[in-house]
Amino acid sequence: MNFKSTWYLALLATLLSFHCYAQEHEWRVLDPTKTVLLALPQGKVVIELAPQFSAKHVAQFIKLVKADHYDGNKFYRVIDGFVAQGGPKDGSAVDKAVPLLSLEGDWPTEKNWQFTKVQDNDLFAEQTGFKDGFPLGYNPSENKAWLLHCPGVIAMARSNTPDSASSHFYITNGQAPRYLDRIMTVFGRVVYGMNHVQAISRTSVIEGEEPVPESDYTPMISMKMMSDVSQEQQIRLEIENTEHPIFQQKLADRRARKNAFFFKKPPPVLDICQTPVLTRLLKNNG
């Protein structure tokens, strides 16, 4: 191959890559093999898993879901404005049989690591932003990134030991408990049915109130991989592509608040956990 044909190939590759970029969609379809369907008495919840960030936690969680580990488990630690935590009966045979996981709290970033930046000088991180729809923190000074404890993320509970998570998980249900970032493993986020998560019975009461009887705890009717659910029972969703220019323009618009409602402009900053990434039903659903 001579120089000229190499040059033509390079040009072709460039054109193709531009073409692919132009075709990249504003929305992406959820992969049912990385998506969980949680049935609660009040309705259905869909969780997108993040194997690209928390590989071992997701692998173990999928294995447990496929083994019906969570079916019939209860949310036994539910604190308003904090978390809804569930899992098998503590110390039961099924509980003890689950292998312990090493913490995946943050990860080293490669040179030229890319993400959709949202904000500098966040209280808890040098930078915040999105990747694949997931809110994350990034400290360039350390070359480290991590998934954030925004409302509606799912993370593994653990004891005081860092590498002690197994199958008990929590879903954040209030103002982001960001102090848990990096010391817990976030491995997915609720993309549908967060209202049903918010309606999980609280098990925690205020001082002076009667404790909530265990019979009132909200059960997980079933937890299944979306790919293991019959076509008619599937909820097929699309998520905004946070790497698409249209999403990035939305961030800029949200920061500028040009709408007439804002007679006085707020500070031009964005709280990453208060920046929505939208979900919609896939057309011709099912």
Give the amino acid at 218. Answer: T
Q: Which residues bind its own copies (CB under 8 A)?
A: 80-81, 119, 121-124, 150-152, 160-162, 173-183, 192, 194-195, 198-199, 202, 206-209, 257, 260-264, 266-267, 269, 271, 273-274, 276, 278-283, 285
Is the CB of 100 or the CB of 278 nearer to its own copies? Answer: 278
Q: How far is the CB of 8 from its own copies (least distance, A)?
A: 43
Provide the β-strand partners of residue 137. Answer: 128, 146
Minimum CB distance to its own copies smaller for 212 or for 225: 212
User: Residue 246: CA atoms inside 13 Å, Cβ hemisphere, count?
Assistant: 11
What distance lies between CA 50 and its chain's CA centroid?
Answer: 7
| Of residues 134, 190, 180, 135, the one with CA closest to residue 158 | 180
Q: Are 101 and 226 in contact (CB under 8 A)?
A: no
Smallest separation, CB 206 to its own copies (Å): 5
Residue 123 Cβ vs its own copies, minimum distance, rounded to whole Å: 5
The residue among 15 and 281 lying less far from its own copies, judged by its C-beta, is: 281
The tokens of 141 are what?
Answer: 């000074």
Based on its alpha-carbon atoms, the radius of gyration of the chain, rounded to whole angstroms, reads 21
- The nearest distance, CB 28 to its own copies, in angstroms, is 14
Q: Which is nearer to its own copies, 94 or 270 (CB)?
A: 270
